[in-house]
Amino acid sequence: MATGAALLVQALFWGQVAAADQALPVLAPYQMVRSLQIVQDRIADGDHAALPMQKKMIEMIDKRLLSATPEEFADRRNFEALLIYGMSGGNPRTLETVTAGLELDPHDAALTAGLIAYFKSNPGKAAAQLSSLDPSKEQPQIGAFLALVKGSVIALQRPEKALPLLDLARLYAPGTLVEEAALRRSISIATSIGDRERFLRASEQYSRRFLRSPYASHFADGFINGVVALREGLDLHVVEEIVSAMNAEQQLAIYLRIARRSAISGYTALADFASARARLASGSADGPEDPRAAFYNALASVTTQPIEEAARRLDAIDRNTLSARDARLLDAAREIVRSVTVSPLTFPETQTGEAPAGTENPAPAMGTGTAEDRADPSPAPHEIAAAGQPGAAADAPAGVESALPAAGAAAAPQPAPARAAQN
């Protein structure tokens, strides 16, 4: 494997520049795909500098597979490499084109048909084609991807049945993008079925192992969604331990997003918790409180504290320290408080029985608001990308989440799942 990687790197950086008497050997498809997997393991470990190399490797492998003869795919290693390529961010059309010219036995025909259906966002057909295939009976490399794909497809209808498959994917491919994707998916599924213990366990495992992944921002989204959705009965001490594995900037971003979501939804206890932790993360425990944390905490207090106290806290917020979206929320909250505290006798008398001016369109009730207002704070810290590292825009490899970024994009691929539904 190491030799193949060295040869491919040489080809990448020297190519036609090599002297005629030093012509590079033509690598077999399985050798090239192994090299790709080495690079992707580095990406999973946080080596974002490997992203451009991954993109170039995928382009080279794509050309090699399309030019390969049917006889080459008679070698089982090359055929499995074709499947792994498709599930590692490769071009699904290449998989479809190449397999169309091969004579496949029923097992391989079902496997390729299921993967192609999955890549084409047809989970129903994918589930039907893959239903008879058992990932535990495949070679580990294929079994890991197959378990990830089947788990993602099954999760749409039977989420509780998907978790064992995702566990198997992790068992077969520890420390890889396959495990990284399986953990993120497990977090999403645990949230959907209300499994708090599984949610916390998977989140802890991810934060301990993959925070440097280009896809860590997707973990942040799932983690925040889970904390808010599972708040009742959720052990916040464990939540705090999970977040403590992050750096200060990441912690602040996470807690502010939880605080904002909770404040808008009226989850006072969770908003208080997140606001307090955001203050600590910002290093302001003994100094001025982060204006966003102070605002979210005050916003949540509107429905729980005496109205005069809520008004005082909202009036103390400097509107200029907030983003445009948060400033609108502050205006709405102040209007709600004002409408409660102002005596009806102060309204000018009306002649037609119409509502007093300014009351026809009451401010949105707490817990509502536009979709834009529900969005995370801006320009607050962005999603949890490793400090100093670029975040990923797409969810990674074809077989992993949303197909690997299209050719030309420098995003890292992930194991297959995600075509059907993103986490």
Domain ranges of the chain: 248-341
Q: Which residues contact 317 (CB under 8 A, 6 or more apart)?
A: 291, 294, 295, 298, 330
Label residue 320 by pLDDT band (50, 70, 90). confident
Distance from C-alpha of 256 to C-alpha of 377, rounded to nearest angstrom: 8
- Nearest CA to 189 out of 158, 218, 148 is that of 158
Distance from C-alpha of 423 to C-alpha of 418, rounded to nearest angstrom: 7
Classify residue 352 as exposed, middle or buried by CB count within 10 Å of its CB (0-12, 13-18, 19+): exposed
Crossing angle between the packed helical segments 291-300 and 248-265, to the nearest 10 degrees: 30
Distance from C-alpha of 332 to C-alpha of 387, rounded to nearest angstrom: 35
Scan for tokens 């989440």, then name that residue. Answer: 401
368-397 residue pLDDT tens = 344 444 445 433 333 333 333 333 333 343
287-316 residue pLDDT tens = 556 778 777 877 776 766 677 777 777 777
Distance from C-alpha of 312 to C-alpha of 31, rounded to nearest angstrom: 68
Lowest mean pLDDT among 72-81, 120-129, 135-144, 288-297: 288-297
174-233 residue pLDDT tens = 999 999 999 999 999 999 999 999 999 999 999 999 999 999 999 999 999 999 999 999
Lowest mean pLDDT among 14-23, 271-280, 317-326, 388-397: 388-397
Label residue 317 by pLDDT band (50, 70, 90). confident
Q: Are 54 and 412 within 8 A, CB to CB? A: yes
- 13, pLDDT greater than 60: no
Helix (H, G, I), strand (E, B) or coil at 343: coil
Label residue 399 by pLDDT band (50, 70, 90). very low
